[in-house]
Amino acid sequence: AQSVTQLGSHVSVSEGALVLLRCNYSSSVPPYLFWYVQYPNQGLQLLLKYTTGATLVKGINGFEAEFKKSETSFHLTKPSAHMSDAAEYFCAVSEANTPLVFGKGTRLSVIA
Amino acid sequence: DTAVSQTPKYLVTQMGNDKSIKCEQNLGHDTMYWYKQDSKKFLKIMFSYNNKELIINETVPNRFSPKSPDKAHLNLHINSLELGDSAVYFCASSLLSGEAQLFFGEGSRLTVL
């Protein structure tokens, strides 16, 4: 069965600094990979997804993630953090015809 | 128009009561889900319905009973509420069964006293 590990339950960066949120997955077949963001008291919103094709995926709000099969990773990055990026971020994996399995989330804090 | 809407957004109740949470999606999707998010933000699937039929039922106490009157609605009824049921419950939908991209509602925060 597929699983997701997000390294670091809390990441703190300065405004303007690089954001790096780590995600490793386990899957027996080529996975579909997702990053979702949850702002306080809101539902989850899709940031980006990888299904097939180009391994570098661009999402909304300047975020991108790279699928690295050899490392079983799908880390999320953004070159320059903004205060509005402060939120909870979830990595998720799905195999064909199975529901999404989420990681435990990483809370991103952005310091002015 | 909100794509996936849940009501109520907040629910505070006593142990032993019965309560319901309603969900509606206007995306024309075939599949709907209930996820539970605990106090540590961990999200776990509870149920999935495809076109009114139950297709996933994870290990959830039978006090929880989903009902789908049509493919645009999936309600969650909880009997004999316990303290451990306190959580945020999210409804979600996807275009097809097995389609991994989910669209989430804003959540319903249930507090059991």
pLDDT in tens, A84-95: 999 999 999 988
pLDDT for the residue B60: 87
Nearest to B42 among A43, A92, A104 (CB): A104
Let me know: does A108 contact A90? Beta carbons within 8 Å.
Answer: no
Task: Give the mean pLDDT of A34-53.
Answer: 91
Which token pair is A7?
Answer: 């390294």
What's residue A87's pLDDT?
97
Inform me whether the C-beta atom of residue A5 falls under 8 Å from chain B C-beta atoms.
no
- Whole-number Å distance between alpha carbons of A8 and A72: 17
Of B53 and B20, the one with more pLDDT: B20
- Work out whether the CA dihedral B90, B95, B96, B99 comes out positive or negative: negative
| pLDDT top residue among A16 and A1 | A16
Which long-range contacts link A64-69 to residues 24+ away (Cβ below 8 Å)? A65/A23, A65/A33, A65/A35, A67/A33
Asked if pLDDT for residue B87 goes beyond 70, the answer is yes
Closest residue in chain B to residue A102, using alpha carbons only: B43
Whole-angstrom distance, CA of residue A105 vs CA of residue A9: 6
Give the pLDDT band of residue A34 (cuts 50, 70, 90).
Answer: very high
User: Tell me, what's the pLDDT at A86?
Assistant: 97
Bridge partners of B108, per DSSP, are B89
Mapping DSSP to helix (H, G, I), strand (E, B) and coil, where does residue B31 land? strand
Say if residue A59's pLDDT is above 90: yes
B88 neighbourhood in chain A, CB within 8 Å: none
Higher pLDDT, A22 or B101: A22
From CA B52, how far away is CA B34, in angstroms rounded? Answer: 13
Q: What is the pLDDT of residue A99?
A: 78
- CA-nearest of B42, B74, B9 to A41 is B9
